[in-house]
Amino acid sequence: MMRLTRRYRFSASHRLHSPVLTEEANQQLYGKCNNPYGHGHDYVLEVTARGPVDQETGLLMRAEVLDTLVERGVLSHFRQSNLNDAAAFQGNCVPTTENLVREIERRLKAGWPAAFAGPWPVLDRVRIQETKRNVFQTTVKQQ
């Protein structure tokens, strides 16, 4: 098994505020991340695919296929945006980077079968650096 990871960058803003908590509770919980006008990050997204290396080509996959999937499914929706405006973060889902990782995983899974027809590669891991000091990662469970 080989894993191939591509790294992508996008800049977006967010404000952490839960509608089910009081103003005071939000302020206490999220601190400066709760400031009313929001703030932004240069997110670094890593997407990892896993599978066998094709004997003929020596490739796990064509990286351009993944690039197109990530561009269409993720980056074009979030680049230079306010994450609080995204459909996923209406209602009670707060655009923490934990929830953003989940949403990106959901989007990649949704587009995966159309991008990669065969059984391999599979989506293995999604990782986001919010800042150099804060990193969030999910390992994708296969059904």
Partner 1 sequence: MLITRRADFSSSHACYRADWSQERNREVFGSSANPRGHGHNFVLEVTLEGEPDTVTGMVLDLKNLKGIIQREVVDPMDHRFLNHEVPPFDRVVPTTENIAVEIWRRLAPHFGKGAVRLHGVRLWETEDLYVDYHGETP
Q: From CA 56, how far away is CA 54, in angstroms rounded?
A: 6
Shortest spacing between CB 58 and partner 1, in angstroms: 4
Joined together, the tokens standing for residue 41 give 């990050």
Which stretch in 3-11, 68-76, 105-113, 128-136 sits in contact with partner 1 by CB under 8 A? 3-11
Query: Nearest-CA neighbor of 40 among 100, 111, 103?
Result: 100
**What angle do helix axes 97-115 and 63-70 make, rounded to 10 degrees?**
130
- Phi, psi dihedral angles at 128 (to 5 degrees): -130, 130
Stretch 58-117 residues interacting with partner 1 (CB under 8 A): 58-60, 62-64
In this complex, which beta carbon is closest to partner 1, that of residue 8 or of residue 30? 8
* CB atoms inside a 10 Å sphere around CB 118: 8
Site for partner 1 contains 5 (CB under 8 A): yes
In this complex, which beta carbon is closest to partner 1, that of residue 24 or of residue 56? 56
Query: In the set 3, 39, 72, 106, which binds partner 1 (CB under 8 A)?
Result: 3
- Binding interface with partner 1 (CB under 8 A): 1-8, 48, 53, 56-60, 62-64
